Structure 1
């Protein structure tokens, strides 16, 4: 009838924007920091027309600072071990263990993204006397990057080192480079650029090729310098399995020491080669550097946490989707087979008369079609229709009165909301089987007859009907048609089997008067009065079932704004209802069973899964942009295939045509994100304790546009059938006890009465 509308405060919009910005930024930082790289292979030199001869024939340490070109070698029988691609939490400590056992220090050229994640390892290296050099932040192929990006790679690594050690480094080792002899026209500009930035570029004299894991003997042979010459020997402590490196190192160091070699760091080795000359000069650090270093480390750590959480939630969404799919296939299929079996019966045919309550607020567009369809039902026990005009200002009541249908009455009351209108209608109803209908809903001729048949079972207190979307022309309405079939009707089969039905739809639902009295009528406590009442019935021990043959056609919101308003109320109201009935988790008996079975099920599949489902699309975009698109696309297609299969099963069970499913892919991309945002807003509203006010949805009177046949004219004289016995059970009483209902009816002839209905406070004006 109405939906809630609430202006979202500017502060909340800003907060939401900040959250989304942090999330997007975290994913971008994670993608940057997680750039995949491969260990340094041996690279063959290309053309060297621009490379100076002193570099090609010089030593492995190249100094291009100040516009000059110099290269240096280590003294004879001096080895500087250098390690690339770390720190690695598994292999760097094992490398250090070997170094300490043989009383050797080395130079570690670190990857900045790894330093930020494992600063304690780098700090331990410095404290143990080892040296730190820069090996870029993400280990890219530098010649393929623009200059600003290369400088960023260096500076971000420096900040990571500052964060871990409090110092900077003047040593740089370019990824995917080997000896000075391999410097070519592509590499040389990078070396010159490094010099302008204040770095000494460090190459190698030997090539252990440990990155390819050729075997311990091959690694030792490749690392061994010829004769007694000094050498910078490269190995790796990160980037993969380094077991062979650790084993080779444990043999290589003592073997070279027996040959008279000493091991040192690059800076110490250069100081021995150039006594009295300070070639390696680390830049000083200041407070600004430390603040920037802290910000960088915080950003990467936060990105790691966010991404890890998203991965966990992604797995949770996948598991929930699979669990829901399996449960639907098994239980919903069982429900359909059982109810459609030739031998299935609820019991003796229900011939009791029925009262239909139609709460109406400004429903002039569709009220005539709705009332005509209700009054013209073929239920043999007879049908009375009570239209409760809830303070309409558009002449809704007058339109119904002008129809002059013999089994239709109009009750006019001051506007008090849908729960109050329903309670008034029940108090005015003459019969004990109550059908509640929205004012924009059109019933099929046999809907009421089918809807009340489950009451042959005395344990049944309420029945949910089959709601269909009548206006299916717009793509927004088609999305809702798919959702009604898959998300509502298919789920109701599942909940029926599990005996934990959470919601009887406001568009078509039937109740025993006794059951309604037992729960105190329709409550005003939540915005989802139908969900609240259904949960209360389940807790009170009444059985709530689904009757698929009772079909009603409703008008779905035709615009995204109207859809947003409607689902905002639904989502927020459902959260309110779950919170209201939370104590059932600790109860015993039927209430405890619903609390421990129904509430978790509703929370997982009604709230958590819709909230988590968009992560599938988020991870798809992330994967397409930053990881392998084949695996990402394959995983998304598998999840989509599961949803398509679920849709096909649901449409088959509901006897719907499949051709509308062509909009399903777009629904996954657009509609699901909209529902996600609605849930987030509802969750935010619930957490802040805000309350919503009511707002009327725009109606066009198109609920019956897709109905299979026109509504028949109403019978003039309803059939009169003797009443059947009612289930003895829970105590009666509540908002509209029989004595109160009699008082309301007695006063109706006078025109105005005062009666306790709904919340126990509001007087009724009845015409």
Structure 2
């Protein structure tokens, strides 16, 4: 029997881009059984735009304050086997529903996620994010999936078993990143999370440094909130997932040393600049370019376009490192010691 599925779209002041998202939802080879837009007290025409597409629109009496809370407001209206939250700036490929439903033939699967790429690469931050996504979704995610331990099922386009999600209490509100929280929680319970590389989605990412900082701070704070909450249980019940978390933490801790190494070798150890740069760039090339070339080939992207975007990834990396360290100090050290309150306010990473 074919599973039924509802698209759940949380939207706050999204009149400009919501129409494109809804068109992609309505243009599926396997149609959604229902599309629900949660107009989270928008001050613009978000609700009118949604109604013009003939979808169900619901609006709370007051702004819910976060994506998870807006989704939970709409969850009681879902009457299908699966619910697929979609960000109001995200487009789904026409065969997305068809592909994302397939893993749920396995009763052990609680959540399935697709492959997210950038919609735009016009600004430096968007170009840097395009490289991050190419690397992450074509190298890291497939490896994690092969070990049955995806680190996160992206909240912009993952599918959930509706009743199981309801029994859990809905989308988690205890952390600032509900997608990672649920992904870890379900795997610790013994349920499966699955990455579906052929299910393509395109998200609008921060277009400038101001919004990139907001988004990365939320992501990094949420990551360490989940490390704080789940680590003990993960060690006992999902050690492979914990290994990926340890690797991520190791990358965060050692990243400043790696990027400072050329300066240390030349200024402190008096190695030649030429030798140092050849060695450092050689390692970077092996670690980054081989996966990127594979990703570009698989997605039929222009190699020149990837090459053009590549330098900008280092702008994003510097932002990532700063906020990862800030999150580590605040969420993993400051909060347990009651020195800091941690991040609780949800702010979108774009206008």
Q: Give the TM-score normalised by structure 1.
A: 0.42
**Secondary structure, in 3 states, of the residue corresponding to 2:126?**
helix
Matched, 1:354 2:23: no
Matched, 1:505 2:154: yes
Is the CA contact (8 Å cut-off) linking 1:360 and 1:439 kept in structure 2? yes
Which residue is 1:454 aligned to? Answer: 103
Q: Give the TM-score normalised by structure 2.
A: 0.90
Is the CA contact (8 Å cut-off) linking 2:96 and 2:200 kept in structure 1? yes
Change (3 A) 1:531 1:680: same
Is the CA contact (8 Å cut-off) linking 1:479 and 1:667 kept in structure 2? yes
Q: CA RMSD in A?
A: 2.0
Matched, 1:618 2:266: no
Which residue is 2:338 aligned to? Answer: none
How many pairs does the alignment contain?
339
Q: Segments of 4+ in structure 1 off by > 4 A? A: none
Shift of 1:383: 2.8
Runs of 5+ unmatched residues, structure 2: 336-340
Matched, 1:681 2:333: no
Which residue is 1:390 aligned to? Answer: 40
Is the CA contact (8 Å cut-off) linking 1:526 and 1:532 kept in structure 2? yes
Q: Distance in 2 between matches of 1:447 and 1:556?
A: 20
Q: Distance in 2 between matches of 1:529 and 1:489?
A: 23
Which residue is 1:367 aligned to? Answer: 18
Higher relative contact order (CA 8 A, sep 6+): 2
Shift of 1:617: 2.3
Match of 2:71 among 404, 409, 422: 422
Matched, 1:599 2:239: no
Which residue is 2:342 aligned to? Answer: 691
Matched, 1:645 2:295: no
Matched, 1:632 2:282: no
Which residue is 1:118 aligned to? Answer: none
Which residue is 2:59 aligned to? Answer: 412
Change (3 A) 1:586 1:503: closer
Instruction: Give deviations 1:219-261, integer Å, cap 9, x for gaps.
Output: xxxxxxxxxxxxxxxxxxxxxxxxxxxxxxxxxxxxxxxxxxx
Q: Distance in 1 between matches of 2:215 and 2:138?
A: 18
Is the CA contact (8 Å cut-off) linking 1:379 and 1:449 kept in structure 2? yes
Matched, 1:478 2:121: no
Instruction: Give deviations 1:381-403, integer Å, cap 9, x for gaps.
Output: x43101111222223112211x1
Shift of 1:664: 6.0
Matched, 1:538 2:184: no
**Secondary structure, in 3 states, of the residue corresponding to 1:600?**
helix
Q: Distance in 1 between matches of 2:315 and 2:27?
A: 40
Q: Distance in 2 between matches of 1:697 and 1:668?
A: 17
Change (3 A) 1:655 1:456: farther
Instruction: Give deviations 1:631-680, integer Å, cap 9, x for gaps.
Output: 42232022122122232233334443322332466246433222111212
Q: Distance in 2 between matches of 1:488 and 1:446?
A: 18
Which residue is 1:37 aligned to? Answer: none
Change (3 A) 1:669 1:412: closer
**Secondary structure, in 3 states, of the residue corresponding to 1:465?**
strand
Please state which structure has a larger fraction of its residues in helix. Answer: 2
**Secondary structure, in 3 states, of the residue corresponding to 1:694?**
coil
Runs of 5+ unmatched residues, structure 1: 1-349, 700-767
Instruction: Give deviations 1:34-93, integer Å, cap 9, x for gaps.
Output: xxxxxxxxxxxxxxxxxxxxxxxxxxxxxxxxxxxxxxxxxxxxxxxxxxxxxxxxxxxx
Shift of 1:515: 2.8
Is the CA contact (8 Å cut-off) linking 1:614 and 1:673 kept in structure 2? no
Is the CA contact (8 Å cut-off) linking 2:92 and 2:200 kept in structure 1? yes
Bigger CA radius of gyration? 1
**Secondary structure, in 3 states, of the residue corresponding to 2:59?**
strand
**Secondary structure, in 3 states, of the residue corresponding to 2:243?**
helix
Shift of 1:463: 0.6
